């Protein structure tokens, strides 16, 4: 197969102001989606793009961290790099001058995610296939070599990871039906915090027309009555048979979360998302135990496999909302999907990538790991900025067919500093 | 009392190469200590200095984050600011464009620490007293208003924090004896990872001569036999009655940590520090349970009060090594000291500040909160770079008498961008 050498690395600080109210939640009243983009250039070959989401001015910190972290990539063959990516990922995550700033969280880890996602995009483009297909065509050994399993050894060894893949091989053909059917989506855009009732009504009607049967509403406002009123309204709008989820974006402390989860249970949500601070694992444990039948979803601010492991071991969450633009990119996303499989938990990504990259990863999770088909969050605000926006029709993500990871952006990005090969 | 207005804020990226081998551990083979410094300037008044430690090139990311976060300080009266600092700290920690990058961890949280430490230094200088005295002269209500207790409510309310202070008032006079005796230190500099046996022997002899009776050795090398040999050597060098601590700097996974803690128990350490990844709270719980009588110390990479709360609730650590250059500065350090008091755990800071600022805070902890006198880590590598280096004589920190928090650096810092008042 063709191989290419990474010739230069550049970063872009891309900012996209959103329409009024879009993207607002209990913590974020502003509406600017920013992408810290990594571009990998090869000579006469394809260009790889990866990014992470941030919400404003701090985006440039991530771009600066990408410049520091990405230096070892220059001059590497993409096939060599990806043949042992787990080891590379660990090495870069433990950069002796940068590890102190985390470890494995915050700005530096976001930078690693952006870089990693660019590597996977470039790899798939070099092989001329969409990322989901590239991943499915790998042998179990090749898949496991993409992962950094350090600090998971007592739960998930290399051998155990291989077993998870091998056990699923006989069911692959059956699982592959999803490629024709498409992966179900759910709609997050009907219920942003600052939307008024009329707007929620209009958007919900439109989303139902488009074929969606699952919807998310922001809660956790300072006005608890408003939360409950909007929850009641949305349940009435979508009917008894549709699925509702509520998202508090960490607003509540534990006593408030217990009280509000119990109140909101009336409207039969599938889950309540980020009920409290993501570092308070024990508060999640208490909630998961005390507010049943309500289920707890969390992950968009859980930064790495080690913290996910502790959440899973402690029964602190029911839905694993890992985001490949929060953890260290595709590689750590896959690791956490292996962990979730071990613990029998569903993976329902938070889509900091607007679903572009995760649409590939949920196909791998279902087909290769046997994760049940759930649904993938759909946020269309940035779709005009992608070269190949995810196609969601009839409420379903159509299987992407273009080579790569669907992360290329149109040119309205602010160019950053370019790192040349030595 | 005199009041001053913060006129401008500037950052400095200060780097200090260390002598060969100094500062090395199982994770960091390099030897550069860097300080991301915040300077607060007033018109015709004192200048406040705060900083955090990092270990290399990433220092400039923290300086860049300081520039973004510190903007709201310009034009504020220091007395107004400090009269309600807990609220201000929460507000800045929840900056809507920067919170996504944590929350409350990593580069942005380090920046908040640097800024906060500069505020406390400036405040004490404006009042013309050392920081320990400023804190002790506050009323319980004034102390509690310095704290952000959000997400701790079910464990530590404002009322409970006030009670902790008031309960201790009758014992203050007795506790104040420490001001004359000085606070005991322990020596970390005899046993850096890359020091050979001869160097360890020489330094240990010198430290014993200087009056130290407690010593720390780096373990967690790839060569486990070397760790055990050095531990045996150091125990023999310091004798049976001295105190030893071993520090693995996160090197081991759980199975390795269990095995090595049991082996190292032979040499009767007071604690084993950072036995595994700081995010693996459950591994700490398992170790704390399984490797007794060895005690577990952790904290230099636990970034905030919420994570410390979960460690304490879970019995995951015996010694709380909170560092005011890792958590959000003096304010969150105090909050975590209140938590530790609630759980009956000793606070033995990790000194990313080389002890300069913590020498004030351990005095407050003992005198106002009734924490037992423990000992404070001593790392003298940067002492020539401070205007008022901590004075450790006879193995004891002498009580600092100069106004401020002892954080002023001599001029060998690289000036960064200056933020002017609007």
Is B142's pLDDT higher than 90? yes
Report d(CA A280, CA A344) in Å as an integer. 22
Give the integer Cα–Cα distance in Å for A118 and A11.
11
Q: Reply yes or no on whether A199 is catalytic.
A: no
Cα atoms found within 13 Å of the Cα of residue B120, Cβ hemisphere only: 34
> What whole-number distance in Å separates Cα of residue B186 and Cα of residue B319?
15
Which member of B53, B54, B106 has the closest CB to residue A106? B106
* A:B CB pairs within 8 Å: 181
Does B68 contact chain A (CB < 8 Å)? yes
From chain A, pick out residues whose CB is under 8 angstroms from the CB of B154. Answer: 253-255, 283
Task: Select which of B104, B133, B216, B218 is catalytic.
Answer: B218
Q: Which residue of B has its CA nearest to A98?
A: B58
pLDDT tens string B389-405:
999 999 999 999 999 99
Calculate mean pLDDT across residues B197-207: 97
Closest CB from A101, A151, A254 relative to B276: A151
Name residues whose C-beta falls within 8 Å of residue A297's C-beta, 6 or more positions apart in sequence.
Answer: A245, A271, A272, A273, A274, A317, A318, A319, A321, A348
CB B364 within 8 Å of CB B334:
yes
Burial of B141 (0-12, 13-18, 19+ CB in 10 A): exposed
- Can A6-129+411-420 and A172-397 be said to share one CATH topology? no
Q: What are phi and psi of B216, to 5 degrees?
A: -120, 140
Is the minimum CB–CB distance between A419 and chain B shorter than 8 Å? Answer: no
Put simply, the answer to whether A96 touches B27 (Cβ < 8 Å) is yes
The whole-number pLDDT of residue A30 equals 74
* B35 reaches A (C-beta below 8 A): no
Contact B383, B351 (CB under 8 A): no
Residue of A nearest to B283 (CA): A310
User: Please, which pLDDT band fits residue B419 given cuts at 50, 70 and 90?
Assistant: very low
Chain B contact for A142 (CB, 8 A cutoff): no
CATH class of segment(s) A6-129+411-420: alpha beta
What integer pLDDT is reported at residue B420 of this predicted model?
41
Any A CB within 8 A of B17 CB: no
Tell me the pLDDT band of B417, cut-offs 50, 70 and 90: very low
Residue with tokens 């995010």: B279
Res B11 pLDDT > 80: yes
Provide, rounded to the nearest whole percent, the portion of chain B with pLDDT above 70: 97
CB atoms within 10 A of CB B131: 28
Q: What's the token pair of residue A404?
A: 């790569």
- The DSSP call for residue A24 is -
Active site residue B350: yes
d(CA A408, CA B234): 57
Q: Are strands B396-397 and B392-393 parallel, antiparallel or unpaired?
A: antiparallel
Distance from CA of residue A79 to its chain's centroid? 25
B415 pLDDT more than 60: no
Residue with tokens 């360890």: B200
What confidence tier does B411 reach under pLDDT thresholds 50, 70, 90? Answer: low
Q: Is the pLDDT of residue B107 over 70?
A: yes
Tokens of A340: 């979730």
The Cα of B236 is separated from the nearest Cα of chain A by a number of Å equal to: 32
Just give the CATH number of B172-397.
Answer: 3.20.20.120
Q: What is the DSSP string of A107-161?
A: HHHHHHHHHHHHHHHHHHHHHTSBHHHHHHHS-HHHHHTT---TT-TTT--HHHH
What confidence score (pLDDT) does residue A417 get?
45
pLDDT one-digit tens code per residue, B292-336 = 899 999 999 999 999 999 999 999 999 999 999 999 999 999 999
Among B55, B255, B281, beta carbon nearest to A96: B55
Q: How far apart are CA A340 and CA A309, in angstroms?
A: 8
Q: Which residues of A touch B283 (CB under 8 A)?
A: 151, 154
For residues A319 and A270, what is the distance between their CA atoms, to the nearest angstrom?
10
Question: Which residues of chain A make contact with B27, given a CB cutoff of 8 A?
Answer: 94, 96, 99
Q: What is the rounded distance in angstroms from the CA atom of residue A238 to the CA atom of residue B224?
A: 62
The pLDDT of residue B418? 45
Contact residues, chain A, for B97 at CB < 8 Å = 30, 32, 55-58
Chain A, 276 to 315: residues with Cβ < 8 Å from chain B are: 276-283, 301, 303-304, 306-307, 309-310, 313-314
Structure tokens at A166: 């091998």
B6-128+412-420 — its CATH code? Answer: 3.30.390.10
Residue A280 to chain B, least CA–CA distance (Å): 6
Interface of B with A in 216-245 (CB under 8 A): none
Integer Cα distance of B187 and B144 in angstroms: 33
> Minimal Cα distance from A252: which residue of B?
B151
Does position B32 have pLDDT exceeding 80, yes or no?
yes
Residue (of B123, B419, B152, B124) closest to B312 by Cα position? B152
* Residue A45 CB neighbours (<10 A): 18
Residue A277 has, within 13 A of its CA and on its CB side, a CA count of 23
Test A29 with B96 for CB contact under 8 angstroms.
yes
Residues of A in contact with B313 (CB under 8 A): 282
pLDDT at A416: 47
- Mean pLDDT across chain B, nearest whole number? 95
Mean pLDDT, each 10-residue run in order, chain A (422 residues): 92 93 91 94 95 96 97 97 98 94 98 98 98 98 98 98 98 98 96 96 97 97 97 98 98 98 97 98 97 96 98 98 98 98 98 98 98 96 96 97 97 48 34
A23-to-A29, A355, B159 alpha-carbon distances in Å: 8, 15, 37
* Chain A interface includes B72 (CB < 8 A): no
In contact, A75 and A5? CB cutoff 8 Å: yes
- Over residues B334-361, the pLDDT tens digits come to 999 999 999 999 999 999 999 999 999 9
Sorted by where each begins, the domain ranges of chain B are 6-128+412-420, 172-397
The tokens 């490949």 sit on which residue? A324
Handedness of CA A334, A336, A340, A346 (dihedral sign): negative
- pLDDT tens by residue, A218-277: 999 999 999 999 999 999 999 999 999 999 999 999 999 999 999 999 999 999 999 999
H/E element, B183: strand B183-191
**What's residue A2's pLDDT?**
81
Strand-pair partners of B252 = none
pLDDT, position A411: 66
């Amino acid at each position: 197969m063709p191989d290419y050498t990474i010739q230069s690395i550049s970063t872009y600080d891309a900012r996209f102001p959103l329409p009024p109210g879009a993207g607002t939640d209990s913590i974020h009243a502003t509406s600017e989606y920013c992408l810290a983009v990594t571009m990998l250039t090869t000579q006469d070959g394809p260009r790889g793009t990866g990014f992470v989401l941030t919400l404003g001015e701090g985006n440039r910190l991530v771009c600066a961290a990408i410049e520091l972290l990405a230096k070892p990539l220059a001059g590497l063959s993409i096939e060599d790099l990806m043949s042992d990516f787990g080891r590379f990922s660990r090495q870069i995550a433990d950069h002796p001058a940068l590890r102190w700033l985390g470890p494995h969280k915050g700005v530096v880890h976001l930078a690693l995610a952006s870089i990693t996602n660019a590597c996977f995009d470039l790899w798939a483009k070099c092989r001329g296939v969409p990322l989901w297909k590239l991943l499915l065509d790998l042998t179990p050994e090749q898949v496991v070599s993409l992962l950094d399993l350090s600090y998971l050894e007592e739960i998930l060894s290399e051998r155990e990871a291989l077993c998870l893949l091998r056990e699923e091989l006989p069911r692959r053909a059956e699982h592959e039906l999803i490629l024709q059917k498409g992966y179900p989506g759910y709609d997050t855009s009907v219920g942003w915090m600052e939307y008024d009732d009329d707007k929620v009504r209009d958007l919900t009607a439109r989303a139902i027309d488009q074929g969606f049967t699952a919807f998310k509403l922001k809660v956790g406002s300072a006005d608890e009555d408003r939360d409950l009123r909007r929850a009641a309204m949305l349940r009435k709008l979508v009917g008894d048979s549709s699925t509702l989820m509520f998202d508090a974006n960490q607003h509540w402390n534990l006593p408030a979360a217990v009280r509000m989860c119990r109140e909101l249970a009336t409207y039969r949500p599938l889950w309540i998302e980020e009920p409290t601070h993501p570092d308070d694992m024990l508060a999640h444990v208490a909630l998961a135990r005390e507010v049943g039948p309500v289920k707890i979803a969390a992950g968009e601010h859980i930064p790495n496999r080690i913290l996910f492991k502790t959440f899973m071991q402690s029964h602190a969450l029911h839905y694993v909302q890992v985001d490949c633009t929060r953890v260290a990119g595709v590689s750590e996303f896959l690791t956490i999907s292996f962990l979730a499989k071990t613990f029998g938990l569903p993976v329902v990504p938070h889509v900091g990538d607007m679903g572009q990259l995760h649409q590939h990863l949920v196909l791998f999770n279902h087909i290769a790991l046997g994760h049940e088909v759930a649904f993938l969050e759909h946020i269309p605000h940035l779709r005009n900025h992608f070269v190949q926006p995810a196609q969601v029709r009839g409420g379903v993500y159509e299987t992407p067919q273009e080579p790569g990871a669907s992360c290329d952006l149109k040119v309205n990005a602010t160019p950053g500093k370019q790192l040349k090969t030595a």
